[in-house]
A = this chain, B = another copy of it.
Amino acid sequence: MPAPDPTRRSARARQAILAATRELLSEVGFARLTIEAIAARAGVGKQTIYRWWPSKGAVVFDALLDGNVDPEGNSALPDTGEIERDLRTVLRAIVEELSDPQTDHLQRTITAEIQHDPALADELVVRLLRPQMRATADRLRVAQGAGQIGPDVEVDLGVELLFGPLFHRWLLRTAPLDAAYADRIVSHAMAGLRPRDG
């Protein structure tokens, strides 16, 4: 198993594979997505896929992140000065995103996949979830400095209090998501985050 030389990797092939993967994923879904089909659609030999990715999940993962993650991780939240309004905006945006069948499908695929692939999970956390959560935490800290959040609140946990219910409902499909639900989460979470004598 002589590791391949990354400097000789064909950018053309890589892009074709990721594009084909995205197309096929939305056409047939993850379960019926095959390496053979990706290779055929991309006009690429199967070995070229196996050479650079360890599994179907990894290809899909790269296909999703490729291009649509800003490499600087500059995912700052809006700051209108009013924390509750800004959080509403963020959660509504997530609901909006997940209402798009395409995005819904891709995100579910990845989430399903990481259940049995911890390495993939790590990558997702590092490249996507952590930056997003950190940005939210940063915004909360600003609000805390402005006295809109209690001084004893652990902002990291605050972030989970906001995102948790949303994803719980979405992943376990206990009920549909909508903007009103996003607002209600913010209201209830803020009730616990606000200074005691708000």
> Which A residues are closer than 8 A to B by beta carbons?
29-31, 108-109, 111-116, 118, 121-122, 124-125, 129-130, 133, 150, 153-154, 157-158, 160-161, 163-169, 171-174, 184-185, 188-193
| CB pair B172 A129 closer than 8 Å | yes
CA distance A168 to B185 in the complex (A): 15
Q: How far is the CA of A166 from the CA of B172 in the complex (A)?
A: 13
Tally of this chain's copies: 4
A168-B168, A174-B129 known; A154 vs B188 contact (CB < 8 Å):
yes
Residues in B whose Cβ lies below 8 Å from that of A167: 164, 167-168, 171-172
Bound: A158/B164 CA distance, A: 12
Given A109-B115, A116-B31, A158-B188, do A125 and B165 touch, yes or no (CB 8 Å)?
no
B157 touches A188 (CB 8 A): yes
Contact between A115 and B121, CB atoms less than 8 A apart = no
Most buried by B among A157, A172, A192: A172
Minimum CB–CB distance from A46 to chain B (whole Å) comes to 15
Please name the residue on chain B nearest to A29 by beta carbon: B116
CB distance from A198 to the nearest CB of B (A): 8
In the assembled complex, the Cα of A118 lies from the Cα of B108 at a distance in Å of: 12
